[in-house]
Structure 1
Amino acid sequence: MCSWEMDKSLLCSAGKSDSCNASSVLQLSNCFRSINISEMSKMTLASPWFSTIFALIGLSSNLFAFCVLISAYKKTHSRSRSSFLIFLCGLVVTDFMGLLVTGSIVVSYHFTQFNWTDVDPNCHLCNFMGLSMVFYGQCPLFLGATMAAERFFGINRPFSRSSRASKRRAWCIVGMVWGFAFILGLLPILGLGKYTVQYPKSWCFLTLLHDRKNIAFGMIFALLGICSVGISFILNTISVITLCRVYHDRESVQRRRDSEVEMMVQLVGIMIIASACWLPLLIFIAQTLLQEPPKSLAGSAIPRETENLLLIYLRVATWNQILDPWVYILFRRAVLKRLYPSLKSRPSIMSLYPTMNPSLQRKYTQESVIR
C-alpha cells in the first residue's frame, strides 16, 4: 500500500468520515499515485543541503549575470545588440525565477519532509509546481530558438532587420514566448494529462503513464523542446558559417565585427548547454511514452527504473539554469579580448556590403519598410 493510501486508512479508522467520501478519494487520486520508497532511500536521494547549495549557486549566478547584462545594456548604442541583450535579460529572469519558485518547494520538502496529502489534498500546490516545471523548463528552449532567429536575420538580412529592431518589439517577443510556455503548462490543469507527485515525493511533473491524455501532453512537451533545440542548431550553424565567411574574406579582413562575434559565441554557448542538459530528458520522455508499458504493473504505477532515470535526467536539465548565466559572464567582449587580443572594435555586420554607400543603404532600408 502506498503512503497516501496508508494515511487515508488511518483517517478512516480514526472516524474522520469526511476524508473517506468518494469526492475526497477522487481528489487524492488526481495527483497522487503509488510510490514505494523506504526511509533510507529517501534520506539518500533527498539531501536538503545539496538542494539548498544547488539553488543558492544558481540564484547568485543568475543575479550576477543580470547585473552584468544591465550594465552592458546601459552602455550599448546598437539597436540589434540592445534587442539581443533584452532577450538575454528575459532568459536570466526566467532562470532565476525558475530556481526560486521550484527550489523553494523542493528545499522546503527536504527540510520538513511534509506529507503531500496533508499539505495539498486538493493538488493545488502540485499543479502549481508542475506548471512551473513545464513553464520554466520550456522558456529557455523557446527563448534560445527566438534568439537564434533574431541573429539569423540580423546577420543574413542586416538592413531589413535593423529597420525593424526596437526595444519594445524585443520585449513583446519575450512576453509572447512567456505566454506560449504558460499556456503549454496549463494544459494538464485543463484536462490534457495531469501533474503528479514524482519519486522521491519532493516534486511534481508531467506523468509518464500510458493513457491517451498523458501520452499526448508528454509528447507535445518533448517534441516542442526537441524542435526548439533543432531550430536553434540549424539557424546558429548558418549564422556562424556566414560570419566566418565574412570574417575570413580577404577583402573585408579589416572589417571584423566584434559585436556580432560576441553575440554568436554567447548564443552558441547557450545552445550547447541547452542541448546537453535538456535533450536527454526530452528524448527519455518521448522514448518512454512510445514504448509498451510493463503488463505486470498497475495502471497508476511506473517502473522504479523509469522513475530513477527521470529523476537523474531532471537533475541534469536543472543544470541549464546554473550554467546559462556563466555564458554571459565569461563570454563578454572584455573577456574575449583578453583571450583573443586581435579582436578589436570594428564596424557592424552592415560592412557585409562594403560597396554600398550610405545613401543606397538608406534607400534599401526604406524599400524594406515599404515592403
Structure 2
Amino acid sequence: MWPNASSLGPCFRPMNITLEERRLIASPWFAASFCLVGLASNLLALSVLMGARQSSSQSRSSFLTFLCGLVLTDFMGLLVTGAIVVTQHFVLFEWQAVDPGCSLCHFMGVIMVFFGLCPLLLGAAMASERFLGITRPFSRPATASQRRAWTTVGLVWASALALGLLPLLGVGHYTVQYPGSWCFLTLGTDPGDVAFGLLFALLGSVSVGMSFLLNTISVATLCHVYHGQATAQQRPRDCEVEMMVQLMGIMVVASICWMPLLFWAGPQLCTDVPESGEFTEVLPLINIIGLLELLFFHF
C-alpha cells in the first residue's frame, strides 16, 4: 500500500524516471561484483598491514596505523553503502513505499558523508604525520606515536560523523537521489542546504589542499637531504621514501576522484536543484571508485 503524499518524509522530491530506465542504469550483478571485489581487497589489505605492523619501526608503525584506519574505513564504507545500493538494484524497491519516514534515507546520507570525508581527512592526517616525521624528527616522543595515531584516527571518525549528523539537527537535508537508489545531501538554495553543502565541499577541498602542500614539502625535504652532503646515517631510509611514494599516490587518487565532485558542488549550491540527473547518477560510482582505488594502491 502506497503512503499518502502528505505522510511522506522530507527526503522525497519529484523524480521523472520509469522502472525500465532504472533497470538500464546499472546492472545489479555489476554492482554486487564491484562491492565483493572491494571487500575482498580490503580484507587482504588489512591482513597484510597487520602483519607489517608487527615488525616495523616506530615511525613506520605510526604510518601503518593510519593506513589500517583508512582501509578499515573503506571496508565499512563499501559494506554498508554497498548493501543498500546492491539490494535496491536487485529488488528495485520504491523508496516511498519502503521508507516513507525517511529513516533509511537519513542513515544512508550520514554514512555517505562520513565514509566520503574520512579518506580525505585521514589523508591529510597522514600527510601531517609524515611532514613532522621528516622535517622535525625529534619534536615528538617515539613511544607515543602509535597511540597518537589511533587517537587521531578516532578524532577523524568523530569529526566526520559529527558533520554527517548536522542535517538530522536541522542544518541541511538528505534526499533520495537519482535514480532513486541512494541518498545524499541536497544541493539547493535553502540556507541550511547551502551551509551544509559548502561545509562539506570546503572541508574536503581543504583536506586535499593540505595533503598536497605538506606532501610537496616532505618530498622536497627528502630530495634535498638525499642529494645533499649528508652522511649515510642522515640520509632518508628506504622505508621513508616508500611511505612518501604511497602517500603521494593516495593523494593523487583522492584528488582525481573527489576534486571534480567538490568543485562541481559549490556552484550548484547557488542554483536550483538539478532535475536531469546527468551528474547525480555518477556520484555513487565516483565514491566507490575512490575507495577501491585507494585500497589497490596500498599494495
Aligned residue for 1:245?
224
Residues 15-54 of structure 1: pairs in structure 2 closer than 5 A: 19-20=3-4, 25=6, 28-54=8-34
Deviations 1:53-79 (A, max 9, x none): 111111111111111101100111x21
Q: Which one of the candidate residues 282, 303, 310 is aligned to 2:280?
A: 310
Match of 2:291 in 1: 321
Which 5+ residue runs of structure 2 have no aligned equivalent?
none
1:96-107 matches, cutoff 5 A: 96-107=75-86
Per the alignment, residue 348 of structure 1 pairs with: none
Q: Matched residues in 2 for 1:286 and 1:133: separation?
A: 18
Q: Is the 8 A contact 1:280 1:313 kept in 2?
A: no
Structure 2 equivalent of residue 65 of structure 1: 45
User: What is the distance in 1 between the residues matched to 2:250 and 2:217?
Assistant: 16
Q: What is the identity percentage for the equivalent residue pairs of Structure 1 and Structure 2?
A: 55
Aligned equivalent of 1:368: none
Q: State the AA in 2 paired with 1:37.
A: I
State whether residues 154 and 162 of structure 1, in contact with CA within 8 Å, keep that contact through their aligned partners in structure 2.
Answer: no
TM-score normalised to structure 2 length:
0.95
Distance, in Å, in 2 between the alignment partners of 1:72 and 1:104 is 30
> Secondary structure of the residue that 1:183 maps to in structure 2?
helix
Secondary structure of the corresponding residue to residue 205 of structure 1: strand
1:251/1:84 CA distance change after superposition, 3 Å: closer
Check if 1:285 corresponds to 2:255.
no
Counterpart AA for 1:318: I
Q: 2-side partners of 1:80 and 1:66: how far apart? A: 19
Listed one character per residue, the Cα deviations across residues 290-321 of structure 1 (whole Å, up to 9, x for unaligned) are: 3x33xxxxxxx6320xx221222441232111
Task: State the shift of 1:256 in Å.
Answer: 4.2
Residue 369 of structure 1 is matched in structure 2 by: none
Cα offset, 1:177, TM superposition: 0.5
8 Å contact from structure 2 (residues 9, 101) kept in 1: no
Does the CA contact (< 8 Å) of 2:250 and 2:297 recur in 1? yes
Instruction: State the partner residue of 1:342.
Output: none
Check if 1:161 corresponds to 2:140: yes
State the alpha-carbon separation in 2 of the partners of residues 124 and 328 from structure 1: 35
Structure 1 residue runs without a partner (length 5+): 1-6, 12-18, 294-300, 330-371
Task: Determine which structure has greater relative contact order: mean sequence separation of CA pairs < 8 Å that are 6+ residues apart, divided by chain length.
Answer: 2
Paired residue total: 298
CA deviations over 1:260-318 (Å, ceiling 9, x no partner): 1011011001100000001111111112113x33xxxxxxx6320xx221222441232
Pair 1:198 & 2:207 matched: no
2:73 to 94, 97, 121: 94
What is the rounded CA distance, in whole Å, between the counterparts of 1:316 and 1:163 in structure 2? Answer: 38
Q: Aligned-pair distance for 1:163?
A: 4.3
Task: Map 1:200-215 to 2 at 5 A.
Answer: 200-215=179-194
**Who is 2:239 aligned against?**
259
Distance in structure 1 (CA, Å) of the matches to 2:15 and 2:41: 35
Is the Cα–Cα contact under 8 Å of residues 247 and 256 in structure 1 kept in the other structure? yes
Structure (1 or 2) with the larger CA radius of gyration: 1
Q: CA deviation at 1:162?
A: 4.2
Q: Name 1:75's counterpart in structure 2.
A: 55
**Could you report, residue by residue, the CA deviation over 1:95-145 in whole angstroms, capped at 9, with x for unpaired residues?**
000000000000000111112122111111100000000000000000000
Matched, 1:221 2:193: no
> Aligned-residue CA RMSD in angstroms?
1.7
- Return the offset for 1:164: 6.5
Distance (Å, rounded) in 1 between the aligned partners of 2:285 and 2:146: 35
One of 131, 134, 150 as aligned partner of 2:129: 150
